[in-house]
Amino acid sequence: MSNSVYAVETTDLTRRFGKFIAVDKVSLNVHKGEIFGFLGANGAGKTTLIRMLSGILAPSSGQANVAGYNIYDQTEQIKKNIGYMSQKFSLYDDLTIAENIDFFGGIYGLSARILEERKAALLQKVGLADFSNRLTRDLPLGFKQRLALGSSLLHDPPIIFLDEPTSGVDPKARRSFWDLIYDTCEMGKTVFVTTHFMDEAEYCHRVSILRDGQIIALDNPRALKKKYGKSSMQEVFVHIVKEKDLE
């Protein structure tokens, strides 16, 4: 790994599917310990970008380093140094909460002692300690999202990718989940969040607005609102998109 202050660095990162360009020459530097948001409508390129940075999807061109590792030929090292929570709930409904955590602990190669220590701590952290023996299928969606986050943290990765983590949950559950994201950041983790909820952009240290695979704005929410004379990120987003439509 490098000694860079950045958790992620990309230069002209691009992904094509045939003639369609899903991610178009994205360049960014994300500091360690930052909550960095990808904000955009469905189809803007957020998930494709996350999948490339996670080592799941190969780029068509451009460069990127994640946790100090090259995205082309060091994907296995990248996967060991990240946690990934996909849009679709990916744990096992027919297992209990505790059994799901045990399963993923085995995948991550954790020893029995370390797994038990981390399982207890994570269940407490995500507020599921009293429900460890419940089948996952019986949990409310907000609880399932907490379990998915806890599982992505089990191997103590420095970088966490959360792809639409609060999609489908009610506003109270979303706010509770963001409290967990802040707690995760305070542990020294770098957290990437994709979202189409404009209010969630307010919670990020910095946010990038994506449209048609391109970053059309990038700064902290306060600076973006000041720049465009708006009171909310919702208004900023609408204004910027309208500007692009007129070009």
Q: Which domain holds residue 112?
A: 91-156
Residue 13 in any domain: the answer is: no
Residue 145 in any domain: the answer is: yes
Residue 194 in any domain: the answer is: no
How many structural domains compose the chain?
A: 1
Residue 190 in any domain: the answer is: no
Along the 247 residues of the chain, how does pLDDT read in single tens digits?
456 789 999 999 999 999 999 999 999 999 999 999 999 888 899 999 999 999 999 999 999 999 999 999 999 999 999 999 987 667 888 999 999 999 989 888 899 999 999 999 889 888 899 999 999 999 888 888 888 888 888 999 999 999 888 887 788 888 888 998 999 999 899 999 998 888 899 999 999 999 999 999 999 999 999 999 999 999 999 999 888 776 6
Buried/exposed code over 164-187 (b: 16+ C-beta within 10 A; e: otherwise): bbbeebeeebbebbbebbeebbee
pTM summary value: 0.90
Helix 112-125 to helix 97-107 angle (10° resolution) is: 130
